[in-house]
Structure 1
Amino acid sequence: MVKEAEEFAEEDKKVKDRIDARNQLETYVYNMKNTINDKDKLADKIESEEKENIDAALKEALEWLDDNQSAEKEDFDEKLKELEAVCNPIISKVYQRSGGAPGGGGEDSGGDDDDDSHDEL
């Protein structure tokens, strides 16, 4: 019975990790949408071409999420990195132009720290 519980615990951890990765991607998408559309944030500072590029990447990510509901954790992580590769440079440029601190917010710096911790493992 204990052995069976251990087997289920391992499977439960995999499922939890997969769901956490999916939630992280969804959160990034919606936070980025709010950032570029909220006048208190970047809506007035971002150029239309930059906004279109981010919107297109966000739309593609949402479509991918809809089509890949049961993707693996690694797939969600990879999609998040692809999305960050599009959004982060644009957001950094906008902040630099407007004189604000570089970076897109807490989720961006958190992602970088995660990458560093993975390198150490």
Structure 2
Amino acid sequence: MHRATRRADGTAKYPIPAVDGATIDADNEVILVRTGGKVMAFALSCPHQRAMLKIKGGDTAFLCPKHKSEYRIDGEYIRGRATRSMDRRAITKDGRELVVDVDSVIQSDEDAAGWAAASVSV
């Protein structure tokens, strides 16, 4: 678990993860995922009814304990009551840090192109 201080502009800064996997910042409700040379930021809550997501299978997937919705590590919906992929947050790279807009919500069903683009290469 990693904590980042939320700044006045609604963003939080994180170090770039050194290895693939998921990191949870419960205070800012952010999940950072590094996989396949990219880093993505997700909302910590399930898009179905906002229950807190859990990491499943050693950083290979996410699970909503409330209704058993499952998601791949890249946030893609697999199965369950949810009707869309995990909500992403806007993310940019600033030198050796990542800047996440913790107030942003990019939904796969409302902005598919924005959702797909919400990542940074590392």
TM range (shorter): under 0.3
> TM-score of the superposition, structure 1-length normalised?
0.25
Greater strand share, structure number: 2
> TM-score of the superposition, structure 2-length normalised?
0.25
The structure with the largest alpha-carbon Rg is: 1
